[in-house]
Amino acid sequence: MQVFHHIRSMREALSEVRREGKRIGLVATMGNLHAAHLALVRQAQATCDCVVVSIFVNRLQFGLNEDWDKYPRTLNEDTAKLAAIGCDFLFCPEETEMYPNGMDGQTRVIVPTMTDILCGASRPGHFEGVTTVVAKLFNIIEPDEAVFGIKDFQQLAVIRRMVEDLRFPVQITAGEIVRAEDGLALSSRNSFLDEDERPRASQLYKSLRWVEAQILEGRRDYMTLADEAAEQLEAAGFKVDYMSIRHSRTLMPAAHDDREVTILGAMYTRGARLIDNISMQVPAGTLEE
């Protein structure tokens, strides 16, 4: 595996790959890699001839009082994990390489829809930071395909909208959620869980599954369902950011007759903010009158 810290050398290497007619895949990360990240890399390897993984802890997507300064930096371990699964290129630039004119005057990419709800409501400016850095990576790497985890469902939807609006010639592929045995979605922030919180943290997934079961049984009182699921999280000792049932493609609040819905939840532990979601098809003929 070749490791690059500078845009120029990364582009030069990829130019040779492109001349050979190879399909290039991208997996964008902030490092501290775990099994879910590696699953995204393997998914990209299945459809691409050459895979680039980026590691960049993007300060622009962290808000005030968020955990940018304590976000785990584990580059040596990450490099070893990627090399072990046959990743082709690792791109890990410094902040000055990605933001040469500093953060304050940085040109930004803004998606005006789907960014001020759910995670965007509690993390103002977050998605602006995400779309800006992802647009930069698309410009630097010029991938044919980019794989993003579906655990960050809203992020995936926003990136797809940006790609459509800006006509980026890249296929956006969703990678399934990888879970621990108790259902907790794997996340770099799981390392911030206290020992007494970890056994209870799977309640987020359990509550999402409970909502799914209620919908399959015919309930369509979506706001009440979300409130009841939030109460379950509070009873488990967590502070709820949101619990919501949305149309899977537009992220608008789910309507009574919607067939594709996604149940999304976010909660705070003492040291972390965790998110999760479940998408489902509402079966025909079960609509509550």
Give the residue numbers annotated as catalytic, written as ranges: 37
| Parallel, antiparallel or unpaired: strands 24-29 and 50-55 | parallel
Which residue is it, tokens 């960050």?
152
Amino acid (one-letter) located at 101: N
Are the C-beta atoms of 243 and 226 separated by less than 8 Å? yes
In order, the DSSP letters of 243-285 are EEEEETTT-PBPPTT-SEEEEEEEEE-SS-EEEEEEEEEPPTT
Is residue 275 within 8 Å of 263, Cβ to Cβ?
no
Please give the C-alpha separations between residue 132 and each of 83, 85, 98, 166, 288, in angstroms, as whole numbers. Answer: 28, 29, 10, 12, 43
- Name the CA radius of gyration of the chain, rounded: 20
Return all residues near 85 (Cβ < 8 A) that are at least 6 apart: 38, 41, 42, 45
- Among residues 183, 39, 68, the alpha carbon closest in space to that of 129 is found at 68
DSSP letter for 113, please: S
